[in-house]
């Protein structure tokens, strides 16, 4: 049996695990990272993406029995679902985690997002406030290399400037801004972890329009950036190493994490402190599977809160033909959005929302330019008429995606499936999920707002996806709070039940807000790294 020993054992090598690993290794602390997936060869992944007949967020990456994950194109793969709604967001298992196929959006939460219950009577309040995270937001922007316009008001007060100049707005963004001038819909540059200039040894964005699922030149940040830095400082990344159980001793402290390799060989990782950073689906799955005489409901689950309060940002997707050419299908997939609908008194009765303006035309809604010629040909067009119609329509494709806030609901949860197991004998995740009336009302409001915006663009051929889409934002399941009866970790992200076990990632979010979660994940990781360094240096 293989034994891995280090001061700190981290499960998961996405942005949260990578940032903590790098910070601790830089301080001379021994770090071992356990990652279920393998390393990704960017060139090979790009080839798989180009050759994939159906291009999804997962198409460049290999889902294997040893490191399987959910697929956007097959809702029955990996997840077992009990309804009433289908959970539609996915994640990767790979060295670097889901940052391989994230969009790169780096919005902060709003100050009021931390006080949803106090201000609007909905959900719960966070046990920390915006002021507690603001310096770590700034640090996270520096670490990830966020490009943004420091002069724009996005509703989240800043104590410093963005480290990189903003990505230039697309021509499409400029058309939206002109059309919406004076309407109350404020188009703003989207902060994003994408190099606008050469930075941190990586090139500037070259506009490949494939941010999801893969940046071919690594202008977009992914967690391998900090994993490489951590490894240079002495951290060890154990790829293809799947954590299968967390073991607690008689005093309630974590004593070890058991793991298995693809050949089914077993091992144990032992440290002084432990961090679970395996995203909001795999972290509760691991904890629930860690049942023993000492932890009959699973590790950190004395309150029966592990796996509960599963959230996403349900998306209202709309697409249309603008009244004038906007020339989409170029550059980053989104460079601007409408951010002034995220907060306000309406949140007392329906969800807040943010609108992402897409540069990828109809790709999400219909397959876009790839499917357009066939659609036109099936309508009877041929020859020059077909070509002219394709050019005209492709030049006018516009898309709006509203990310809708979702409330925590204890009934929305991940449990272990009673029948199906993975390669290592761990039960697959079974989901019970409903988006709720608060979000449904937000989706309905978003559709009306989309109609008003598209009218200003003189748009025709307007379509609204009748079903909500998943944002790829898996939130909740191990939330933070002061009360151990209603949360899994305390404000310092230490498990209430086990004082040497920490949880990171969007799993700990008490509420979802409307911001893409990655920057908040990174800020919490940097905050935890400082706490852990202090604990270890005190000899705890």
Where do the domains of the chain lie? Answer: 2-537
pLDDT of residue 397: 97
For residues 523 and 136, the answer to whether their CB atoms sit within 8 Å is yes
Q: CA 151, CA 403: separation in Å to the nearest integer?
A: 24
What pLDDT shows up at residue 320?
A: 98
Q: Is pLDDT above 90 for 67?
A: yes
Quick check: 540 pLDDT over 80? no
Q: What is the pLDDT of residue 185?
A: 97
How wide is the angle at C-alpha 124 spanned by C-alphas 121 and 125, nearest 5°?
Answer: 100
Residues linked to residue 84 through DSSP beta bridges, in sequence order:
433
Identify the CA nearest to 509 among candidates 126, 162, 13, 136. 126
Residue 474 confidence (pLDDT): 98
For the segment 452-509, what is each residue's pLDDT rounded down to a tens digit? 999 999 999 999 999 999 999 999 999 999 999 999 999 999 999 999 999 999 999 9
In the predicted model, is pLDDT for residue 35 greater than 90?
Answer: yes
Q: How confident is the model at residue 539 (pLDDT cuts 50, 70, 90)?
A: confident
Q: Among this protein's residues, is 450 annotated catalytic?
A: no
Q: Which residues does 378 contact at the CB level (< 8 Å), separation at least 6?
A: none
Give the whole-angstrom CA distance, residue 259 versus residue 426. Answer: 11
Both ends of the chain: CA-CA distance in Å? 28
Task: With H, G, I as helix, E, B as strand and everything else as coil, classify residue 359.
Answer: coil
Q: What was the pLDDT predicted at 60? A: 96
Mean pLDDT of 393-418: 97
The alpha-helical segments, DSSP class H, found in 121-166 are 130-144
Q: Could you tell me whether strands 254-260 and 187-189 are parallel, antiparallel, or unpaired per DSSP bridges?
A: unpaired
DSSP 388: H
Is 347 a residue whose pLDDT tops 90?
A: yes
Query: How does residue 53 score in pLDDT terms, banded at 50, 70 and 90?
Result: confident
If you average pLDDT over every residue of the chain, what do you get? Answer: 97
Query: Could you tell me which residues come within 8 angstroms of residue 270 by beta carbon, excluding any fewer than 6 positions away?
Result: 3, 4, 5, 9, 255, 256, 257
Whether 294 and 313 have beta carbons less than 8 Å apart is answered as: no
Strand partners, 403: 315, 354
Residue among 226, 238, 473, 502 flagged as catalytic? 473
* Mean pLDDT calculated for residue range 390-396: 95
The confidence band for 97, taking pLDDT boundaries of 50, 70 and 90, is: very high
Length of the chain: 540
Note the pLDDT tens digit of each residue in 170-208.
999 999 999 999 999 999 999 999 999 999 999 999 999
| Interval 209-229: pLDDT, tens | 999 999 999 999 999 999 999
Position 386 confidence tier, pLDDT thresholds 50, 70, 90: very high
Count of alpha carbons within 13 Å of 162, Cβ hemisphere only?
28
Tens of pLDDT, residue by residue over 222-259, are 999 999 999 999 999 999 999 999 999 999 999 999 99
- Residue 27's pLDDT is 96
Share of the chain above pLDDT 90, in %: 96
267 three-class SS = strand
Handedness of CA 289, 295, 301, 303 (dihedral sign): positive
Burial of 249 (0-12, 13-18, 19+ CB in 10 A): exposed
* Cα-based distances in Å from 471 to 29, 115, 164, 188, 500: 36, 23, 26, 20, 33
Q: Cite the DSSP H helix spans in 145-278.
A: 171-180, 224-232
Percent of the chain with pLDDT over 70: 100
Cβ–Cβ < 8 Å for 417, 470: no
In which element (H, E) is residue 33 found? strand 31-34
Q: Which pLDDT value is given to residue 538?
A: 86
Side-chain half-sphere of 15: how many Cα atoms within 13 Å? 29
Q: What topology is assigned to 2-537 in CATH?
A: FAD/NAD(P)-binding domain (3.50.50)
Q: Specify the DSSP element, H or E, that contains 440.
A: helix 436-456
Rounded-to-integer distance, Cα 114 and Cα 121, Å? 12
Spatial strand order of the sheet with 315-321 comes to 187-189, 336-338, 353-358, 397-404, 315-321, 460-464
């Amino acid at each position: 049996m293989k034994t891995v020993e280090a001061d700190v054992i981290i499960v998961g090598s996405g942005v949260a695990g990578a940032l903590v690993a790098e910070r601790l290794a830089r301080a001379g602390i021994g770090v071992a990272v356990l990652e279920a997936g393998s390393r990704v060869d960017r060139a090979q992944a790009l080839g798989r993406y180009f050759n994939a007949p159906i291009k999804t967020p997962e198409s460049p990456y290999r889902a294997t029995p040893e490191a399987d994950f959910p697929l956007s194109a097959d809702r029955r793969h990996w997840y077992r679902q009990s309804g009433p709604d289908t959970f539609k967001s996915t994640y990767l298992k790979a060295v670097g985690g889901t940052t391989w196929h994230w969009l790169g959006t780096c919005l902060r939460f709003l100050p009021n997002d931390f006080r949803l219950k106090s201000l609007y009577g909905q959900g719960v309040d966070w046990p920390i406030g915006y002021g507690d995270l603001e310096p770590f937001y700034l640090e996270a922007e520096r670490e990830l290399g966020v490009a943004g316009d420091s002069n724009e008001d996005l509703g989240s007060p800043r104590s410093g400037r963005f480290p990189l100049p903003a990505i230039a707005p697309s021509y499409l963004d400029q058309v939206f801004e002109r059309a919406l001038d004076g309407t109350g819909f404020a188009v703003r540059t989207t902060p994003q972890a994408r190099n606008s200039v050469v930075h941190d040894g990586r090139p500037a964005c070259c506009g490949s329009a494939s941010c999801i699922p893969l940046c071919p030149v690594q202008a977009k940040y992914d967690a391998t950036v900090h994993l490489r830095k951590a490894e240079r400082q002495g951290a060890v990344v154990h790829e293809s190493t799947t954590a299968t159980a967390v073991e607690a001793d008689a005093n309630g402290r974590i004593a070890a994490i058991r793991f298995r390799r693809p050949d089914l060989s077993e091992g144990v990782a032992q440290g002084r402190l432990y961090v679970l950073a395996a995203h909001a689906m795999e972290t509760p799955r691991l904890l629930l599977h860690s049942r023993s005489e000492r932890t009959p409901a699973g590790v950190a689950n004395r309150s029966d809160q592990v796996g509960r309060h599963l959230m996403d940002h349900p998306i209202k997707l709309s697409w249309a033909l603008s009244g004038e050419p906007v020339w989409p299908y170029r550059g980053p997939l989104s460079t601007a959005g409408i951010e002034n609908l995220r907060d306000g008194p309406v949140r007392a009765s329906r969800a807040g929302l943010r609108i992402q303006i897409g540069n990828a035309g109809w790709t999400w809604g219909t397959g876009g330019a790839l499917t357009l010629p066939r659609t036109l040909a099936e309508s009877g067009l041929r020859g020059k008429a077909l070509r002219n119609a394709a050019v005209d329509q492709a030049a006018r494709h516009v898309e709006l995606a509203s990310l809708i806030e979702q409330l925590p609901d204890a009934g929305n949860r991940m449990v272990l499936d009673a029948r199906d197991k993975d390669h290592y004998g761990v039960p697959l995740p079974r989901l019970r999920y409903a988006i709720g009336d608060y979000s449904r009302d937000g989706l309905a409001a978003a559709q009306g707002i989309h109609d008003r915006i598209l009218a200003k663009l003189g748009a025709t051929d307007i379509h609204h996806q009748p079903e909500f889409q998943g944002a790829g934002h898996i939130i909740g399941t191990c939330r933070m709070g002061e009360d151990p009866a209603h949360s899994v970790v305390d404000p310092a992200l230490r498990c209430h039940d086990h004082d040497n076990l920490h949880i990171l990632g969007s799993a700990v979010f008490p509420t979802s807000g409307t911001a893409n979660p990655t920057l908040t994940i990174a800020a919490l990781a940097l905050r935890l790294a400082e706490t852990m360094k202090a604990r270890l240096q005190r000899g705890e």
